[in-house]
Structure 1
């Protein structure tokens, strides 16, 4: 199992936390499966940027970005070179440190 450490976020995990996920799982699925209710307005279909995360450690272990994800990331709030859509970032064997940005482009939160 891969360990994903989530840095503190005022809404989703104020103290920060860590979860475990089997390789082949998306970061978004891993967070949701462990009670971290990250936004995912498009139901993980790579059609929005509400599940944007910044991968602080382990970025190179994730699968390659495809063109659709790259295009969408251009619209994400707080974009950084190590940003990913968590619904598209597939966990491998290397542990990760992930930051959920303070804001997203979703002004009306979905009730997932």
Structure 2
């Protein structure tokens, strides 16, 4: 089972942590399953950028980004070459290190 190392984020994961998830699970699903409440305003339907993450290690093990995902990522705050929408990035067998950007472009956040 791959391990996802989450780098510290002041709101979602202040100390950083490591979680395990089954291959085929999306990064977003894995985070939510472990009570890391990453934003996902479109309910994981690839229609926004609130679940944007930066994959610092293990990017090549993930499924390829679709054209639709890449088009949306162009609108994400803090876009980097290793950026993915966590609702679309499916785990394989390799461990990952991810960073959750400090900000999103979501103007109507829930649960806050």
Give the TM-score of the pair, scaled to structure 1.
Answer: 0.98
CA distance in 1 between counterparts of 2:44 and 2:88 reads 8
Structure 2: distance between partners of 1:38 and 1:85: 11
Q: Distance in 2 between matches of 1:89 and 1:58?
A: 11
Runs of 5+ consecutive residues of structure 1 not aligned to the other structure: none
In 1: Cα distance, 2:4 partner to 2:103 partner: 21
Q: Deviations over 1:41-91 (max 9, x none)?
A: 000000000000000000000000101000000000000000000000000
Instruction: Name the residue aligned to 2:74.
Output: 74
C-alpha RMSD over aligned residues: 1.0
Question: What corresponds to 2:42 in structure 1?
Answer: 42
Aligned to 1:16: 16
Who is 1:6 aligned against? 6
In the TM superposition, residue 110 of structure 1 has moved relative to its aligned partner by 2.1
- Partner Cα separation in structure 1 for residue 67 and residue 15 of structure 2: 34
Alignment partners' CA distance in 1, 2:35 and 2:45: 20
SS at match of 2:30: helix
TM-score (norm. length: structure 2): 0.98
Structure 2 unaligned runs (5+)?
none
Q: How many residues align?
A: 112
Displacement over 4 Å in runs of 4+: none
2:57 alignment counterpart: 57
